A and B are shown apart, each in its own frame.
Chain A
């Protein structure tokens, strides 16, 4: 039902016409009410005669003036001019004074510029004798008929205006509610007038409405001498108001329809202009845009400077105001430009900060694009995209590294169980004391199974150390102490190889930030290598020094075999000097040591100089 009411086109048309008519009537009645007040219809409560009204007064005075000035005369009215001090002595009279005039008007005033030879500065008594009010030839005829028409209804004008205004408002409400809905459409329908650019439409509409209202207001001034009989003004006035209201109503309806469709802004000339300028600017390269911006800035400044008038015009008020305006505008515009530049550079700074953070490896760094404008926003978005991409790559790598570590750990667990059996049964076999070649083979089995065991253990450790999957607790560690402890542990093995260790360390202890257990593992690996690969009966140098907040530990030894590979290769996983391929160890020792040092925030460097093998450990001092 409601939907039907909303969609019924004929109903809308009728309501539109009725509303326009009612509103026009309300406007006209309201104006008439105001005019009645001006005509003095409400000045006394008794019924007022035409002769007491302002209508009679204004026409009579006009007649008196017109006659006294240049002798204009009328059929149904006689004007006389006499000396107020000598009544009856007529200076002038337009006709014979009637014995029984229909109405009489009298006043005393000075008459200047009289063509009839009256003395300026002297007061005269002027009388208008009206023969007939209601004959067509009477100058009072129109005014009198207006009076006759309006005076009896004077108190009904305002209520009638209010009533029709109320009804018109109801109609307006219905129209605004129903506009845009059609029976065959789900969404708001925009008709031809809704497709006219809004600003053009409103401007044209406003001009037309303004003109029509102005015309209507002029026409309905019924007390004016120039206004004709009721017929001559009621219809044109009503017509003008009707048209004005209809146009205004149409404008309101199209506004409502566009608002409902949410397309107020799109269909305007302003918007199209703005958009085309914007797209033009967007197409322009950044350099050109900047250049145009600077040129525009200069142009505005030059214009405002031209507005500043020369100083000697200062006394003219108009020039003063123009000058004040241009001064204020100049100051405001330049302040705005400064603010804009500051804002722009602030944004650049934000971008730079983000870029720097990204470059330094803080991949979570993001530019807040909500606070960026112009092409800098796109800049920020690109930057964020780079960060995201890097983040994703790093995350992916971390995940795959973690998976790898997990895989290696799990596989090594699975390898360990059969390995345990192998080692145990090899040991049991050896207890059987086999003879000859069998004993030899068993020794090989024993050696190789021990190697496999070491290999699986090192493999897990290497993968954990390289992915940082180890808990590190840094605390001040006495490096001298740990060297002593490690050498104490290796005393036997070093002695077996006939190696002599020479330690150089500062008298006062050297402390470094490290995890004791991890540092021991590093030293364990390095000293293990020394025992395995150093030339027997040679010397091993261990130097400890602290300088510049860093603790340096150097281990130097002479290699037993010729070192035919580079230091870099030695560090790679699973690489050992060719000659040591078949000796014990997994080839992971140096790699694990390096990873562990890096986990502790330190470093491990290798160098090979002839047969001199040198390891440099660096740690942060405590």
Chain B
């Protein structure tokens, strides 16, 4: 199984994370400062790092920046700072994901699994023209299957059609009415809220935390779009 490095100056949090992640069968390493984390990465083969931002000596942001000079190990930042500017900073220096404290342990485990899958599967997937891939989400139009980080997800036909539409044009924003028109093949007459409900369900299926979607993003007041994480700041 994968080797995970947990780095946080709060020992209780490190041990709690250890309990959760070891239950999943990962091998765990502990570090209490950024400096220690760098040393362990230099010594051991590490597949993923969970890193706190606010630490004495070398903080998480600086450690991430240093690690990124030599390696592309997935790094998930853990922090009490929840402002969007802090998230942007973390993602900009090279972190792959960002979890705010206090966190839901289930979510942490899910994100860890997702990052590890993407890391280990990278480039292993065969490229077919019928395959659409955005980040960890893959849609095969021939088999009508959708996988997230390699796990198959079962979607209703409507949800599948909406996802197919959005994934054909990554980053493009579709309004509810447009989605309704293109997927239902009808003009929307006040039934656009149905789209929102479907999208909500879709998000619940493909996102780890539907309130903080990584792929299927809500552009409030304008529509929806599919996008790989980190492509837009904010």
Q: Which residues of A contact B (CB under 8 A)?
A: 412-414, 416-417, 419-425, 427-428, 453, 457, 460, 477-482, 484-489, 491-492, 503, 505, 514, 516-517, 519-520
Contacts and interface: CB of A to CB of B under 8 A. Distances in A.
A481 B180 CA distance: 12
A416 B16 contact: no
Contacts of B81: 413
B121 to A, nearest CB: 29
A516 B222 contact: yes
Most interface-central of B16, B101, B176, B190 (chain A CB within 10 A): B101
A428 B17 CA distance: 10
A416 B176 contact: no
A505 B192 CA distance: 12
B176 A484 contact: yes
A439 B45 CA distance: 41
A572 B192 CA distance: 36
A414 B102 CA distance: 11
B196 A421 contact: no
26 contacts: A413-B80, A416-B80, A416-B102, A419-B101, A421-B16, A424-B13, A425-B12, A427-B105, A460-B82, A477-B221, A478-B175, A481-B176, A484-B192, A484-B193, A485-B196, A485-B224, A486-B196, A488-B195, A489-B196, A491-B196, A505-B190, A514-B221, A516-B221, A519-B220, A519-B221, A520-B221
Contacts of A479: 221
A219 B190 CA distance: 123
Contacts of B220: 477, 482, 485, 516-517, 519-520
A412 B195 CA distance: 37
B195 A457 contact: no
Contacts of B218: 485, 489, 520
Nearest to A517: B220
A428 B195 CA distance: 38
A417 B13 contact: yes
Nearest to B218: A485
7 shortest interchain CB distances as A-B pairs:
A488-B196, A477-B221, A516-B220, A416-B80, A424-B16, A482-B221, A420-B102
Contacts of A492: 200
A457 B200 contact: no
Contacts, number: 101
Contact of B13 (A412, A421, A478, A491): A421
Nearest to B23: A431
B19 interface: yes
Contact of A428 (B16, B190, B197, B224): B16
Interface residues of B, number: 34
B182 interface: no
A423 B221 contact: no
Given A420-B13, A425-B12, A428-B19, A478 B221 contact: yes
Given A417-B80, A488-B200, A516-B219, A423 B195 contact: no
B40 interface: no
B103 interface: yes
A413 B19 CA distance: 24
A420 B20 CA distance: 14
Interface in B13-57: 13, 16-17, 19-20, 54
A165 to B, nearest CB: 87
B10 interface: yes
A421 B175 contact: no
Given A420-B80, A480-B192, 6 more contacts: A423-B102, A424-B12, A478-B221, A484-B192, A488-B195, A520-B218
Given A488-B196, A488-B197, A481 B13 contact: no
Contact of A488 (B16, B19, B199): B199
B54 A413 contact: yes
Contact of A420 (B103, B196, B224): B103
B223 interface: yes
Contacts of B101: 416-417, 419-420
Most interface-central of A417, A482, A489 (chain B CB within 10 A): A417
Given A416-B101, A423-B102, A516-B220, A487 B13 contact: no
A414 B80 CA distance: 8
B166 to A, nearest CB: 14
Given A516-B220, A516-B221, A457 B82 contact: yes
B204 to A, nearest CB: 9
Contacts of A413: 54, 80-81
B89 to A, nearest CB: 14
Contacts of B82: 457, 460
B223 A481 contact: yes
B135 to A, nearest CB: 22
A280 to B, nearest CB: 66
A503 B102 contact: no
Most interface-central of A421, A477, A484, A491 (chain B CB within 10 A): A484
Contacts of A489: 196, 200, 218
Contacts of A423: 102
Interface in B195-234: 195-200, 218-224
A428 B108 CA distance: 14
A492 B197 CA distance: 9
B19 A481 contact: no
Nearest to A478: B221
A449 to B, nearest CB: 8
A277 to B, nearest CB: 67
A491 B202 CA distance: 13
Nearest to B108: A424
Interface string B169-198: 000000111000000000000101101111
A518 B65 CA distance: 31
A481 B102 contact: no
Contacts of A491: 196-197, 200
Most interface-central of B12, B13, B221 (chain A CB within 10 A): B221
Contacts of B13: 417, 420-421, 424
Contact of A487 (B19, B102, B190, B193): B193
A425 B197 CA distance: 35
Contacts of A503: 190, 193
A486 B218 CA distance: 10
A522 B19 CA distance: 38
B222 A481 contact: yes
A304 B193 CA distance: 89
